[in-house]
DNA sequence: CCTGAACCCTGTAGCCACTACGGAGTCAAG
DNA sequence: CTTGACTCCGTAGTGGCTACAGGGTTCAGG
């Protein structure tokens, strides 16, 4: 038996926000589900599984476009796995770059927080922002 | 002497994109500079310094609102430094949480990339997305 | 059968921190 | 005086949601 759910139930089952589910449908990530006569969406187990797939992909940090690709790959099981692997590789590189950026931030912040001054006059954080170099990464701002 | 620069020159000097400088002005982060008769912006050294302050704050991952606060603190040098310190502390906590999330992603991705299967049929990445739990963080998706 | 709470619908606007673009005006070198 | 680089403004787009407003639907209790 393929249980039918309303969008609210699917939302609770999957841990994906109700409005996010509608958003995924709007951008073509989730297929349009069948509707009741009055227009209510009803989801079957396949839809629920697809949504879990998406959620897990997001949890791993994949973007919507990447997840779209992964879903297509999952639908064609006899295709070579190379594309999925390359996607994951490229994503891993990005994740590692972000980690490096954040760790550089963390290190500077950790130093600055040892501030003993009672006034802003000699506050290390403010002084750093005003004068000194503080971050090794050149474009850390833009890849967030 | 206080060198006057056009916005393009300031952009090059500071490493902040020209349109970003106008954006900062629009949102009240940079004060409106004096203009030429025809409306061109002209920036002095003070403006350039303020912009560098902002850029460094962004490089450390502070948000616009936080930088606004930090700028105000920097302008009142006899104030206690406690607020700046608290801001930095709170920010450090966030940065550390992001690092933890990303490292969890990295670990899972690293495992999955050892995929030997020639087809998607047994691709570890796809299988993980379809079936298994993959991420320890409960809400890692939302705090990016 | 009626009421009212809890659900669902659509469409639009907001979030963050930019970035990009179009169409027009300005400036300085040759 | 022309040319090309600069500047202006306003608006719209990015990603990935989230939050309304203003309605319609469903169903359990009385």
Instruction: Kindly provide the ipTM of the predicted complex, given to two decimals.
Output: 0.85
Per mean pLDDT, which of A76-90, A118-132, B63-77, B112-126 is the most reliable? B63-77
Tokens of A15: 């841990």
A8 touches strand C (CB under 7 A): yes
Buried b or exposed e, range B123-144, using 16+ CB within 10 angstroms: bbbbbbbeeeebbebeebbeee
Tens digit of pLDDT for each residue in B76-98?
A: 887 778 888 889 999 999 999 99
pLDDT-derived band of residue B118, with 50, 70 and 90 as boundaries? Answer: low
Q: Which of residues 101-130 of B touch A (CB under 8 A)?
A: 102-103, 105-106, 108-110, 112-113, 115, 117-123, 125-126, 128-130
Q: For chain B, list the domains and their CATH numbers.
A: 7-75 (1.10.1660.10), 96-130 (no CATH)
CA distance A15 to A111: 39
Would the pLDDT of B9 be above 90? yes
B chain contacts of residue A115, beta-carbon cutoff 8 Å: 81, 84-85
**Ranked by mean pLDDT, which of A123-132, B102-111, B132-141 comes out on top?**
B102-111
Task: Read off the tokens for A59.
Answer: 């949890």
Query: Any chain B CB within 8 A of the CB of A47?
Result: no
Establish whether the CB of A1 is closer than 7 Å to any nucleic acid atom in strand C: no
Q: Please, what is the Cα angle at A16 between A15 and A22, to 5 degrees?
A: 150
């Amino acid at each position: 038996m393929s249980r039918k759910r309303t969008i609210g139930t699917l939302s609770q089952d999957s841990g994906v926000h109700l409005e996010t589910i509608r958003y995924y449908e709007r951008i073509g990530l989730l297929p349009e589900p069948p509707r009741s006569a009055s227009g209510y969406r009803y989801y079957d187990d396949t839809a629920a599984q697809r949504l879990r797939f998406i959620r897990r992909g997001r949890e791993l940090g994949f973007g919507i476009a990447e997840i779209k690709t992964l879903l297509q790959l999952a639908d064609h099981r006899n295709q070579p796995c190379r594309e999925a692997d390359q996607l994951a590789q490229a994503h891993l590189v990005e994740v590692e770059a972000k980690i490096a950026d954040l760790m550089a931030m963390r290190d500077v912040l950790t130093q600055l927080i040892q501030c003993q001054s009672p006034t802003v006059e000699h506050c290390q954080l403010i002084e750093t922002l005003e004068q000194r170099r503080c971050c090794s990464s050149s474009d850390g701002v833009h890849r967030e």
